[in-house]
Amino acid sequence: MSEITTIEPFTEGFVEALLPELILFTGMLLLILVPNLGKGTFRIPGTQLRLPWLLGGTRFKFSSDPRLPAWIASITLGSAFLNVLYVFSQGLERVLIVSESGKELLLINGFSRIFELIFFGALALAAFSSMNRLQVKGIGSKIPENELYNNRRQADFYILMVTCALGMSVVALAQDLFVLFIGLELASFSTYVLVAFLKESKVGVESGMKYFIVGSVASGVGLYGLSMLYLWAGSLQFSVLAATFAVSGTTALPLIGIGFVLVGFGFKVSAAPFHFAAPDAYAGAMSPVAGVLATASKAMGMLGLVRMLLIVAAPESSDGSAVWLVCLGAMAAVTMTWGNLAALGSDNPKRMLAYSSVAHAGYMLAALTAVGAWNWDAAVAGDASAAAVAVMTALLFHLVVLVAFKLGAFLVLSILESEGGGSRLSSLGGLAKREPLLAVAMFIFMISLAGVPPMAGFLSKLLVIMGIVRVAVGDMGAEISDGGIYALGDHALGLVACLAYGHQLSHFRLLLSSCRRCDVL
């Protein structure tokens, strides 16, 4: 792998390194400018001369097109996506952006780039597919062009999408916990507004409010956790935090601080018990927005957790497990159980997907736990690290395919929504007759979410489970002889049991999705 190039902001290489973000920035500006282009004139003060300056006034035909902002946003996000992809294809350069005082700000490497891909891809899809969805009468009416929101309202929406992407990419790149937090807030604020965007409907604003309030509390807790960490370490640089943690990590201050920070991220991934607002938000928001919440936003939260847990509070080498192991394991178990159980009885498709998304958060947390449970010092160390890599790979893969399937499912719902259905499972009835392709797509998304081979959802789930099993098995390394299976490390056993349980339940969740299918067909 190539060496890390270290550059300072606004020096050579900076633009290349942050090109995707700059594209987003440009797109934002365009979104502000272009829809406002019009025959507006500027009266030179004191004269009657009016100079056309093309802003405001009667809009041009093209700039008054309500679909224009959607196009701009889609193209922006899409080109950012393609740019990242291009960078990948060209061989990745790892760039570290540091401040003048030598503080690490942003790190561009494969890991962050993959997350950027997830974010941009999800948002681009969401933006593109909500092109015809912002309607004056709210959800439910047919969509002649003049029924769409006017392009200013449209621009608001898509600007928020792009800022959201920007915030997420900051999270992906950040090397300083506070920078990460700012990115997180940028993305969060955008999503709060996006969720509440349908201010003409009761549920829209309600969901926005709940999501906002709970999210704010969670980020308040998170910020307080940051302040505690800062108080403890004197810096919020990941490198500094990790070093300090290795020395004096087991005192109350950093641990509680880490716990508080976990709350902030926990809300983003909608882990229990911070997930309560999520179903409400998904149900009230427009489906593409809900899709973004379930995929990109969740990936962002996971990224934060990974940074926090694996880099800052890395498992100790002495006793082979991380301090947060029990906590995260419990959270994972509760989350996947809760999500699956709740999804089982839900008859609102969006709520069901929301709960399923909670369950998926549980799997991912379980995978993270698995990495934490891995015995860093075991005799088969090389092998174990491979397992950790496998788990992380699986996690990433899972996030990637989640974008495809969960977002896909939400997008299907959004189509139904615009036709007036979508709030109850029964309203999906006869979809196969009306829209066979849509029905098939929905089915594929569903079984993939349920983890049925040969869909990619299976592979990701398999990889996650494999990682966990590997860790469980590896834990027995010393006692692999007879009776070993009974001497499974208690946490590992609990974990596998949880996972098996959760996994099984997730297939009961399939009951629901197939129930939906039945209606669909």
What residues between 491 and 510 interact with other proteins by CB under 8 A?
Answer: 496, 500, 503-505, 507-508, 510
Measured between its terminal Cα atoms, the distance across the chain in Å is: 51
Burial of 62 (0-12, 13-18, 19+ CB in 10 A): exposed
C-beta closer to other proteins: residue 54 or 459 = 459
Q: Number of residues in contact with other proteins, rule: CB under 8 A?
A: 119
Site string for other proteins, 130-149 (x = CB under 8 A): --------------------
In a 13 Å sphere around the CA of 52, the CA atoms on its Cβ side amount to: 7
Q: Are 179 and 170 in contact (CB under 8 A)?
A: yes
Residue 481 interacting with other proteins (CB under 8 A): yes
Q: Which residues, numbered 213-272, are part of the site for other proteins (CB under 8 A)?
A: 213-214, 216-218, 220-221, 223-224, 226-228, 230-231, 234-236, 249-250, 252, 255-256, 258-260, 262-263, 266-267, 272
Residue 39, interface with other proteins (CB under 8 A)? no
Residues 6+ apart with CB under 8 A from 270: 278, 298, 301, 354, 357, 358, 361
Smallest distance, other proteins to C-beta of residue 476, A: 9
User: Which residue in the set 64, 458, 493, 494 belongs to the binding site for other proteins (CB under 8 A)?
Assistant: 458
* CA 217 – CA 477 distance, rounded (Å): 43
Closest CA to 350 of 290, 297, 438: 290
Q: Which stretch binds other proteins (CB under 8 A): 35-43, 147-155, 344-352, 406-414?
A: 344-352
Secondary structure class of 144 (helix, strand, coil): coil
> Residues 6 or more apart from 288 whose CB is under 8 A from it?
125, 126, 127, 129, 130, 133, 410, 411, 414
Task: Choose, by CB under 8 A, the member of 383, 424, 426, 478 that binds other proteins.
Answer: 383
Q: Is residue 343 part of the contact set for other proteins (CB under 8 A)?
A: yes
> CA-CA distances (angstroms) from residue 20 to 83, 85, 427?
6, 10, 41
DSSP SS3 for 377: coil
Nearer to other proteins, 23 or 258 (CB): 258
116 binds other proteins (CB under 8 A): no
Q: Which residue has the tokens 């990115």?
A: 183
What is the greatest pairwise CA distance in the chain?
Answer: 97
52 binds other proteins (CB under 8 A): no
Pick from 66, 121, 422, 474: which binds other proteins (CB under 8 A)?
474
3-state DSSP call for residue 5? Answer: strand
Smallest gap from residue 105 Cβ to other proteins (A) = 12
Sites for other proteins among residues 284-303 (CB under 8 A): 284
Task: Choose among 95, 89, 70: nearest CA to 3.
Answer: 95
Single out the segment in contact with other proteins by CB under 8 A; choices: 78-86, 135-143, 167-175, 280-288: 280-288
Using the rule CB under 8 A, give the single segment among 1-9, 34-42, 385-393, 408-416 that binds other proteins. 385-393
- Shortest gap between Cβ of 252 and other proteins (angstroms)? 6
Minimal distance, residue 41 CB to other proteins, in Å: 32
353 touching other proteins, by CB under 8 A: no
Q: What is the DSSP letter of 250?
A: T
Q: Return the DSSP state at 42.
A: E
Positions in 307-326 near other proteins (CB under 8 A): 323-326
Q: Report residue 462 as tokens.
A: 């398999």
296, 357 Cβ separation under 8 angstroms: no
Buried b (16+ CB within 10 A) or exposed e, 383-414: ebeebbebbbebbbbbbbbbbbbbbbbbbbbb
User: Does the protein bind other proteins through residue 386 (CB under 8 A)?
Assistant: yes
Using the contact rule CB under 8 A, the part of the chain among 32-40, 47-55, 131-139, 275-283 near other proteins is 275-283
Among 27, 279, 288, 457, the residue binding other proteins under the rule CB under 8 A is 279
Nearer to other proteins, 38 or 484 (CB): 484
The C-alpha angle with vertex 464 and arms to 168 and 468, in degrees rounded to 5, equals: 125
Concatenated DSSP letters of 287-333: HHHHHHIIIIIHHHHHHHHHIIIIIITPPPSSSSS-TTHHHHHHHHH
- Positions 173 through 202 that interact with other proteins (CB under 8 A): 178, 182, 185, 189, 192-193, 196, 199-202
Pick the closer one to other proteins by CB: 92 or 342: 342
Binder to other proteins among 24, 125, 131, 277 (CB under 8 A)?
Answer: 277
Q: Point out which span in 6-14, 79-87, 293-301, 450-458 binds other proteins (CB under 8 A).
A: 450-458
Which residue stretch of 19-27, 129-137, 408-416, 468-476 sits at the interface with other proteins (rule: CB under 8 A)? 468-476
- Which 389-428 residues touch other proteins, going by CB under 8 A? 389-390, 393
DSSP SS3 for 108: strand
